[in-house]
Amino acid sequence: MLPRDFPGDLADELRFLPDFLDAPERLFEELLATVVWDTRLRNRKTASFGIPYNYSGLTYPEIPFPSAIAALAEQATTPLGFRPNNALLNLYAGNGGMGFHSDSSAALATDSGVGIISLGAARELVFRRSGANYALQLPAGSLLRMSLPMQASWQHALPAASPTTAARISVTFRRIVSD
Ligand SMILES: O=C(O)CCC(=O)C(=O)O
């Protein structure tokens, strides 16, 4: 359930399943143990699988989905309403985060969206429009789908938490259209 203070025109653009995964700890540990992380960004580590989603001046090689990500993408396809062909993973330390931004829809399939599966420590995702902020707690095992149209009017951020907060991984799913 989304927080009650969320305006209707924000809630309409989100789908939130707090208990999407049964055993998020297992996947968290598997990804921590197996993923080779890219360290080019300062506030988080990343890894890209599938057709690359190149952004923020970074490019990634095309790497097939590992089996755990392929299984997750399959499970997420119905709630997301699109079949992901890219998984961009983020690994955050407690004080890591992502500033306010909107996701570019240019390379994404029409009527798809952006999916976020959260693992590890629960963190807040904050939505902002016209100076008003709305925070959503993302617990381990949750799935959030953001629509593409909302990116035009809303920004979102993952604010830094305390350095003692445990690590979090987000698996962000997209459907890229190759040209
Ligand atoms: O890691 C997260 O949950 C945030 C991801 C995000 O904001 C994005 O992919 O645009």
Per-residue pLDDT tens listing for the chain (179 residues): 899 999 999 999 999 999 999 999 999 999 999 999 999 999 999 999 999 988 778 899 999 999 999 999 999 999 999 999 999 999 999 999 999 999 998 899 999 999 999 999 999 999 999 999 999 999 999 999 999 999 999 999 999 999 999 999 999 999 999 75
> Which atom belonging to ligand 1 lies closest to the Cα atom of 88?
9
pTM for the model stands at 0.97
* Residues sharing a CB contact under 8 Å with residue 177, sequence separation 6 or more, in sequence order: 107, 108, 109
- Which residue ranges have their beta carbon within 6 Å of ligand 1? 90, 98, 103, 116, 125, 156, 158, 170, 172
Nearest residue CA, atom 10 of ligand 1? 103
Q: Domain 8-174 belongs to what topology?
A: Jelly Rolls (2.60.120)
Q: Residue 157 CA: which ligand 1 atom is closest?
A: 7
Rg of the chain over all Cα atoms, to the nearest angstrom: 15
Ligand 1 atom index nearest CA of 92: 1
Among 118, 125, 144, which is best to mutate for testing ligand 1, by the most ligand atoms less than 8 A from CB? 125
Q: How many CA atoms lie within 13 A of 165 on its CB side?
A: 20
